[in-house]
Homo-oligomer: A and B are copies of this chain.
Amino acid sequence: MVERRKPIAVAEAVRHVMKFAKEGALEWVRLEDSYGRLLAQDLVADHDVPPFDRSPYDGFAIRSEDTVHANLENPVEFEVAGQIGAGSVFTETVGPFQAVRIMTGAQIPGGCDAVVMLEITTEEERDGKHYMSLKRSVKCGENLSLKGEDVKEGESLVPKGTMINPGTMALLATFGYSHVPVAKKPVIGVLATGTELLEVHEPLEPGKIRNSNAYMIASQIIRAGATPKYIGKVTDDFEKSFASVEEALGDVDMLITTGGVSVGDYDYLPAIYKQLGANVLFNKVAMRPGSVTTVAELNGKLLFGLSGNPSACYVGFELFVRPIVRTFLFSSKPHLQMVEAVLGADFPKPNPFTRFVRSKLSYDNARLFVAPSGLDKSNVVSSLADANALMVLPGGTRGFEKGMKVQALLLDDQLGCEWPWGESPLSSKL
């Protein structure tokens, strides 16, 4: 008998899962190991930037008041009282009509309030002394990088939950983070079910296929910022599958299974959830592919029952698992970023379910275009490699035409999004 399941809307399904989203733990790693991790605390400035008034150019530090009468006919002459390289400091105070030779980045000596660039000065040696003269007046503060003009001490510069990129690394180093508080990666178990599955090194056999979903999901887990733990694969056998799921649950923060969630005779996940006493959040979503995606919860731990179909599995991960992972990693924008783009293909056939089509987003003339990255068949593995977006075609009674605006979820983006589902007019049917 075919079990009748009631499909729920994608946004509703996401909302159900997000009820169990929680922040994880913090760990300290060395700065050089922190690239690509997510900050577990806001990055805070430990000092002003610049930390002192400094020179943005090679030139001479002077007192601007000494230049008020300078012009082309009446150059003003300064005695060069010393010189400062970047990293050294001029300890004396500069007096009237004295100048100090200063390098880019060096601290402005006491008494000085301006820098003149080397190019507008004339130098002269006379009686063993060094002089510099200037044919224009200079304003107080001219050519100074002022203490704190970039960043003030105590300022929060990057919020927690942000992925550390090269620019963030520069900030962390600048503010003395030799160790960085990053979000601990959750461990996500991956268990593939299906008698038809071979390991990757095994030769093909009639009726069998190699287990590709586990490796695909493992890299989606890494891309999202978590650590995959491959539990293995089990054949379509209730007792074995149950034992594997139960044992795995103890070792992981959440568990993903692939396959076994449909209503076929060999789909044991529904019975496993029942026997575990897990709370099934939903077992049918009004989406293609992946309508049989099932999520259950046991003592606050989530069990993601993704479809065995590669595309459905891929989509199910990005919609339901990713926001849970990113929340665990302290992100306040845990969902994939959703953008609008011009549709590059016709989808004449309406579908009552919302479709998520593996697509390629491209740019032309300051516009965004999105087109399927392969044939739109849920079993076409080969279109997955090219995909950098999931095109979203809301379910309903109409088809979609080339040139229409549609929404797309960015797969490689690290910024994320607070809640992409149902806010804009385009999303209202999700």
Contact = CB atoms under 8 A, between A and B. Distances in A.
Nearest to A406: B366
Interface stretch (A69-77, A192-200, A241-249): A192-200
Nearest to A213: B170
A381 interface: yes
A19 interface: no
A218 interface: yes
Contacts of A174: 209-210, 212, 381
Contacts of A166: 216-217, 219-220, 223, 314, 384
Nearest to A414: B412
B167 A36 contact: no
A171 B87 contact: no
Given A194-B87, A365-B340, A216 B170 contact: yes
A266 interface: yes
B381 A171 contact: yes
| Contact-residue bracket for chain A | 35 or more
A101 to B, nearest CB: 8
Interface in A159-199: 162, 164-178, 194-197, 199
A174 B196 CA distance: 13
Given A87-B236, A368-B363, A167 B216 contact: yes
A118 B195 CA distance: 21
A201 interface: yes
A348 interface: no
A87 B207 contact: yes
A259 B379 CA distance: 54
Contact of A382 (B52, B171, B387): B171
Contacts of A87: 194-197, 207-208, 235-236
A225 interface: no
Interface string A398-430: 000000010000001111000000000000000
B368 A31 contact: no
Interface stretch (A43-51, A295-303, A325-333): A43-51
Nearest to A263: B58
B236 A2 contact: no
Nearest to A364: B340
B314 A340 contact: no
Given A103-B266, A265-B103, A379-B50, A157 B85 contact: no
Contacts of A194: 86-87
A381 B210 contact: no
Contacts of A206: 52, 89, 107
Given A36-B222, A195-B86, A200-B176, A168 B385 contact: yes
Nearest to A374: B150
A365 B32 CA distance: 39
A201 B235 CA distance: 54
Nearest first, the 9 A-B pairs at minimum CB distance are: A87-B196, A167-B384, A87-B195, A173-B212, A170-B216, A167-B385, A178-B201, A35-B219, A89-B207
